[in-house]
Amino acid sequence: MSTRLTLVGVAMVDSHALQLVMATSKIQDLTSNYLSKALSNKGYSSISPATLSFLSALDCGINFGSEIARNLGVSRQMVAKTVKDLSNKGYLEQREGVGKQKQILFTHQGELLMADARLLLAELDQHLANAIGKEHLGDLVNGFSQLEAVLSTKLTNQA
């Protein structure tokens, strides 16, 4: 590995992992912002990248606040607040469940939102495939899946 010097003279080691983290973070931000704006232009109100991130963590069927909180790494109170907000906007609904847990489901409007989001992403797929080649795009997706598996195993084994 090569090193670089900073202005204060401390050697810094180059890192592919750091480059991957920075690039994937930027890709996620660009994609989320594109999707948010495109969905807003289609008439969906109050669709921010954070809202899309929350909604993308939900299953198509029944969801529970504790599972969502665990998957997103946030508090159940944060999930409850977000679900209430998205219910008021017409994207989610809550129903009585077993015990104290309420079921969280997409409304018809929420399902339309997610379907339109996937359609926009499919259009983005086509643009990416045209720009870098369909095979290369597939190789990138497979490579990132492999990286995720390696990192997941490494981090799980360290815990």
Termini Cα distance of the chain = 27
pLDDT score for 86: 96
pLDDT at 26: 97
Q: What's the confidence (pLDDT) of residue 159?
A: 62
DSSP of 66-129, one letter per residue?
HHHHHHHT--HHHHHHHHHHHHHTTSEEEEE-STTPEEEEE-HHHHHHHHHHHHHHHHHHHHHH
pLDDT at 2: 59
Q: What is the pTM of this model?
A: 0.82
Model pLDDT, residue 6: 64
Residue 100 is predicted with a pLDDT of: 81
pLDDT of residue 154: 85
What pLDDT, on the 0 to 100 scale, is given for residue 10?
77
pLDDT tens series, the chain, 159 aa: 556 656 677 777 888 999 999 999 999 999 999 999 999 999 998 899 999 999 999 988 999 999 999 999 999 999 999 999 999 999 999 999 878 889 999 999 999 999 999 999 999 999 999 999 999 999 999 999 999 999 989 877 876
Amino acid at 134: K
**pLDDT score recorded for residue 45:** 83
Q: How many helices (H) and strands (E) does the chain have?
A: 6, 5
